Structure 1
Amino acid sequence: MFGERSAIIMSNYYHRYPKLLLSMSISKMVTVPKSYSLRERHIEYNKNIINYRFCENITEEPKEGENGRGNGDERGKLTFTDMKEFPSFKFGNYTYAIEMEQPNPEFQEIARKELRENLELQKETVVRLRELLKGETNLKCPLDFDAWLIRFLRPCKYYPESAFNLVKNYYSFKVKHSDIYDNLKPSREKNIFEQNILVVLPLRDQHGRRMLVIEIGKRWKHNKCSLDEIFKGCVFFLEAAMLEPVTQIAGVVVIFDMDGLTLQQAWQFTPAIAKRIIDWLQDSIPIRVKNIHIINQPYVFNMVFALFKPILREKLRRRCKRNFVFGSLKEDMYMYLCLIFHGTDRKSLHQYISPKCLPIAYGGDIDIPRVEGKQWLEWLLMCDSEFDGTLSNQLDVVNLLQTEHGSTGLTRESSETLEEFTS
């Protein structure tokens, strides 16, 4: 998505987008030895404008109908708007971009081991999920859009029934929270970017996961930017992340930096907001949220977490890792939905995220200039129309709430099934 561009991952991708290759201003060719570990490959990928080893024959145009292009077949599409070039911008030594390349061999192996992914099963389950969705007459979604269906199959480990429930939850959540999602697109939500609260790190972590930092503390002016706006900003970034095949496999990591959180800010969190966030993360987003790290939290954060704790399922609340001490406060280190508390203990954070992937501010080795919010906005505005397809109600699901799936579409059975397969 936003990290250092892996400029040549698969030559097939550049057959389909030859103009994108010419626009990238490749400054250095890097051959990554096969003996490198996955972590070493990612570090090497992200040092400059990185290139993988498939660098021959990249100028040939695709034949008519090849890869689902050129024949009007929707099933070969990658995005709603059939974008030919994906937005990117260079900042310092790093290039932020949506990475639409197909997974390299390392991630293909991860997908095989963790998600049961193989070509035969993928084709079979896409057909099955399409059949299930056709039977849901109140749900209008892009049935002939294979890449879209795979976005829901991957986090459910290619169990079609679980992916079917996830699709229903995904759209039911948008209908239930129509005050958030109606006409939601970057061009209408400029304020959140002006606050400089959300930051996507330019590197993936050592496991290939995207990393989003949310600074709810010193940088958050709660009288100028509401929690609803922060939520919308997170939706933008995670929806963009869901476009990337590698991120669909590896997942994302979220870091909440609570440094400077005040009592007045803590009062902005309400039970309704807490429930919305938990419902979204537990049941309604087709992406593997692997870890949520809470860092630099002051004592007042206990008030905030007290709102979230009762909403988390008992199975997730039992995922307790250990206790640790930082400063003068003794904290419980829980893992709820992979929710981990670190306080100011950087060694604790580094147990999960390598310092080689983190900025200096978090005890890391990378000197990363801060990207201002207006630059994120300019970046997202370049794909503003894509959010019409992913977030708007042009996919007509209004009647879904009146079906047998309940008032919210989030049944206990479907939620438990999703928990089983997406954990």
Structure 2
Amino acid sequence: MTVRALSSVLRKKAEEEVNETPNVADAAIAQLRDWLHQKPHLRAAKIPDQWLIAFLRGSKFNINKAQEKLDTYYTLKTIAPEIAANRHPFDASIQEILKIGFFLPLRKCSTDTSPRTCLVRVAAFNGTKHSLTDLIKVALMIIEILLIEDDNFTICGEEAIVDVKNLGFGIISQWTPTLAKKVVTCAEKSLSVRLKSMHVLNAGKGLKAALQLFKLFLGSKMKTRIHLYHKDYEKMYRTVDKSILPVEYGGTDGHIQDLIDHWKMKVETYSDWYAQHDSIRPDESKSSDAKNSANVLGIVNCFKKLDID
């Protein structure tokens, strides 16, 4: 098994948080390998152990759940290609999103066992210039890198800081129920993102409709982890250490442009990875257990149920 060694504190955290021990990890990866060999579209794929353990951690080492997440991940490339496939880092549209820094994981964690904090700069979005699906695609591309490289992310989870300053109709009009469901499916049911908390900054009246659609597809536990702030960030600083934040958000760890430059270069180095994994898709005409969009997304007409808890 080729999996990065954990520090002693993360090893303890992994056992407490996701039920991982070295013996459990070895056995679980072996089981996933056996399962992969039974899947026509996955049998020949070059899938590293580090990728598999990310899905196992996201499933708390429940083998069936990990299999379901992997299957959903590759199925989404067929049924949601606008956000899950055709990922070419040097395409003009993706380069544009990388340059504005929409999704930026921070360089430090508050402690050795803290979640990875990710800055989501909705404020950088220009509704007349950018496509929301491109922004989401790039965010998911970066999340894949975190799944491979960041043990804090896969074991301790994610803490999101979402800046919605100057949120306008341009982005809200593109945030449809179907897209909302696809995003939640990617994050929760395939990429195993374990969101510990979400801090929404500069939240004004225009946020309500978009937040309704997003919260609609979240579980009751997750709904309680979303916190809104207008212009006063002091409450957020009680749980988010200033030392990990960029200067622009009251912190001391460099500037946003430093993060933009880092993640642009990092995504570009993963060009071969994206190409390889975009080519792995189920053949629904041959695979007896291939999924369709209705099965994976489970989209229902639920406008009448819109409500804020």
Report the Cα distance in structure 2 between the residues aligned to 1:196 and 1:344, rounded to whole angstroms: 21
Q: 2:198 aligns with which of 281, 287, 292?
A: 292
Superimposed CA distance per residue, residues 325-350 of structure 1 (whole angstroms, 9 cap, x where no aligned partner): xxxxxxxxxx4284333333423323
Equivalent AA in structure 2 for residue 148 of structure 1: W
Quote the residue 1:175 is aligned against: 78
Q: Residues 87 and 274 of structure 2 are in contact (CA less than 8 Å); yes or no, is this contact kept in structure 1?
A: yes
Superimposed CA distance per residue, residues 257-302 of structure 1 (whole angstroms, 9 cap, x where no aligned partner): 0011123442232222212212222212134333232221111101
Report deviation, 1:361: 3.6
Report deviation, 1:105: 0.7
Report the Cα distance in structure 2 between the residues aligned to 1:197 and 1:143, rounded to whole angstroms: 30
1:107 and 2:17 correspond? no
Q: 1:399 aligns with which of 271, 284, 296?
A: 284
Report the Cα distance in structure 1 between the residues aligned to 2:38 and 2:9, rounded to whole angstroms: 37
Q: 2:28 aligns with which of 88, 111, 125?
A: 125
Superimposed CA distance per residue, residues 90-126 of structure 1 (whole angstroms, 9 cap, x where no aligned partner): xxxxxxxxxxx53211101101111221111111112
**Aligned with 2:67: secondary structure?**
helix
1:204 and 2:109 correspond? yes
Report the Cα distance in structure 1 between the residues aligned to 2:235 and 2:245, rounded to whole angstroms: 13
Report deviation, 1:371: 1.9
1:273 and 2:179 correspond? yes
Equivalent AA in structure 2 for residue 410 of structure 1: V
**Aligned with 1:306: secondary structure?**
helix
210 and 184 in structure 1: CA distance in 2 versus 1, 3 angstrom threshold: same
Q: Residues 192 and 229 of structure 1 are in contact (CA less than 8 Å); yes or no, is this contact kept in structure 2?
A: yes
Quote the residue 2:230 is aligned against: 343
Q: Which has the larger radius of gyration?
A: 1
Q: 1:256 aligns with which of 153, 162, 171?
A: 162
1:377 and 2:264 correspond? yes
Runs of 5+ in structure 2 lacking a partner? 299-309
Q: Residues 257 and 294 of structure 1 are in contact (CA less than 8 Å); yes or no, is this contact kept in structure 2?
A: yes
Q: Residues 102 and 245 of structure 1 are in contact (CA less than 8 Å); yes or no, is this contact kept in structure 2?
A: no
Whose relative contact order is higher, 1 or 2, with alpha carbons under 8 Å and at least 6 apart?
A: 2
- Larger helix percent: 2
1:235 and 2:140 correspond? yes
1:214 and 2:99 correspond? no
Report the Cα distance in structure 2 between the residues aligned to 1:259 and 1:141, rounded to whole angstroms: 46
Report the Cα distance in structure 2 between the residues aligned to 1:400 and 1:275, rounded to whole angstroms: 25
Q: Residues 17 and 156 of structure 2 are in contact (CA less than 8 Å); yes or no, is this contact kept in structure 1?
A: no
Report the Cα distance in structure 2 between the residues aligned to 1:204 and 1:130, rounded to whole angstroms: 32
1:362 and 2:265 correspond? no
**Aligned with 1:253: secondary structure?**
strand
**Identical-pair percentage:** 20
Quote the residue 1:306 is aligned against: 212
Q: Residues 29 and 49 of structure 2 are in contact (CA less than 8 Å); yes or no, is this contact kept in structure 1?
A: yes
345 and 202 in structure 1: CA distance in 2 versus 1, 3 angstrom threshold: same
Report the Cα distance in structure 2 between the residues aligned to 1:377 and 1:215, rounded to whole angstroms: 15
Quote the residue 2:275 is aligned against: 388
**Aligned with 1:254: secondary structure?**
strand
Q: Residues 170 and 286 of structure 1 are in contact (CA less than 8 Å); yes or no, is this contact kept in structure 2?
A: no
Report the Cα distance in structure 2 between the residues aligned to 1:336 and 1:140, rounded to whole angstroms: 38
Report deviation, 1:177: 0.9
Q: Residues 246 and 255 of structure 2 are in contact (CA less than 8 Å); yes or no, is this contact kept in structure 1?
A: no
Q: Which moved more, 1:297-306 or 1:338-347?
A: 338-347
Q: 2:60 aligns with which of 157, 180, 183?
A: 157
Report the Cα distance in structure 2 between the residues aligned to 1:172 and 1:309, rounded to whole angstroms: 24
Q: Residues 246 and 256 of structure 2 are in contact (CA less than 8 Å); yes or no, is this contact kept in structure 1?
A: no
Runs of 5+ in structure 1 lacking a partner? 1-74, 79-100, 320-334, 413-423
Q: Residues 152 and 286 of structure 1 are in contact (CA less than 8 Å); yes or no, is this contact kept in structure 2?
A: yes
Report the Cα distance in structure 1 between the residues aligned to 2:285 and 2:217, rounded to whole angstroms: 24
Report the Cα distance in structure 1 between the residues aligned to 2:68 and 2:186, rounded to whole angstroms: 14
Report deviation, 1:308: 2.2
Equivalent AA in structure 1 for residue 145 of structure 2: A
Displacement over 6 Å in runs of 4+: none
Report the Cα distance in structure 1 between the residues aligned to 2:5 and 2:271, rounded to whole angstroms: 23
272 and 143 in structure 1: CA distance in 2 versus 1, 3 angstrom threshold: same
Q: Residues 139 and 400 of structure 1 are in contact (CA less than 8 Å); yes or no, is this contact kept in structure 2?
A: no
377 and 132 in structure 1: CA distance in 2 versus 1, 3 angstrom threshold: same
Q: Residues 158 and 197 of structure 2 are in contact (CA less than 8 Å); yes or no, is this contact kept in structure 1?
A: yes
**Aligned with 1:300: secondary structure?**
helix
Q: Residues 130 and 143 of structure 1 are in contact (CA less than 8 Å); yes or no, is this contact kept in structure 2?
A: no
Report deviation, 1:144: 6.8
356 and 271 in structure 1: CA distance in 2 versus 1, 3 angstrom threshold: same
**Aligned positions, number:** 292
Report the Cα distance in structure 2 between the residues aligned to 1:134 and 1:375, rounded to whole angstroms: 36
**Aligned with 2:143: secondary structure?**
helix
Q: Residues 133 and 143 of structure 1 are in contact (CA less than 8 Å); yes or no, is this contact kept in structure 2?
A: no
Report the Cα distance in structure 1 between the residues aligned to 2:82 and 2:166, rounded to whole angstroms: 30
